[in-house]
């Protein structure tokens, strides 16, 4: 009797899980693509990171955290009145984009475990509220690199 009940509840749980999966694929979801990523060569033991995340899906998402072998302390900053403020997440609007650029929103890497040089690549993993994590290789550019000035 006990065994039968267990099997039955397992079946119910499985059915519920399947229903849940089916449901989420029916509704809209974010479709994210990363471009223009780079890290200016760090001059101290901290570094910034910049990239654009394009969302071609019909559902908004959020960048909730960033991890990297380069630093255990990667945060998201916005710039207000030339001051940096840590934020918990960046919004990625549906059918829109999140742009991280010099003088504005950026990633902040503290207490670097090594000092990457121009030409190196730094691996980071982006974590989202809804979408699966995305791994990005940030090419290290000159310390004063700014693609917006071209």
Which position's Cβ is nearest Cu ion?
77
CB 133 to Cu ion: min, Å = 22
Among the candidate windows 93-101, 105-113, 124-132, 140-148, which touches Cu ion by CB under 5 A?
105-113
| Nearest-angstrom CA–CA distance, 145 and 40 | 6
Query: Counting contacts by CB under 5 A, is residue 112 touching Cu ion?
Result: no
Q: 63 with 50: CB under 8 angstroms?
A: no
CB atoms within 10 A of CB 123: 12
Query: Counting contacts by CB under 5 A, is residue 84 touching Cu ion?
Result: yes
| Nearest-angstrom CA–CA distance, 91 and 98 | 7
Please, which residues have CB within 8 angstroms of residue 131's CB and are 6 or more apart in sequence? 29, 30, 31, 32, 61
Query: Counting contacts by CB under 5 A, is residue 94 touching Cu ion?
Result: no
- Provide the CA 88 distance to its chain's centre, in angstroms: 12
Among the candidate windows 65-73, 76-84, 94-102, 127-135, which touches Cu ion by CB under 5 A?
76-84
One of 34, 108, 112, 134 touching Cu ion (CB under 5 A): 108
CB 67 to Cu ion: min, Å = 17
One of 30, 38, 66, 77 touching Cu ion (CB under 5 A): 77
| Nearest-angstrom CA–CA distance, 120 and 39 | 10
Q: How many residues bind Cu ion (CB under 5 A)?
A: 3
- What is the binding site for Cu ion (CB under 5 A)? 77, 84, 108
């Amino acid at each position: 009797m006990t065994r039968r009940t267990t099997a039955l509840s397992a079946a119910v749980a499985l059915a519920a899980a399947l229903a849940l999966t089916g449901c989420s694929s029916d509704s809209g979801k974010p479709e994210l693509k990363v471009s223009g990523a780079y890290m200016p060569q760090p001059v101290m033991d901290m570094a910034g990171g910049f990239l654009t995340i394009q969302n071609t899906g019909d559902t908004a998402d959020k960048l909730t955290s960033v991890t990297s072998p380069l630093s255990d302390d990667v945060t998201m900053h916005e710039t207000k009145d030339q001051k940096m403020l840590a934020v918990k997440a960046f919004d990625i609007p549906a059918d829109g984009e999140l742009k991280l650029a010099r003088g504005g929103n950026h990633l902040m890497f503290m207490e670097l475990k090594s000092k990457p040089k121009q030409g190196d690549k730094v691996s980071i993993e982006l974590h989202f509220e809804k979408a699966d994590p995305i791994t990005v290789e940030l090419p290290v550019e000159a310390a004063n690199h700014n693609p917006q000035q071209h």
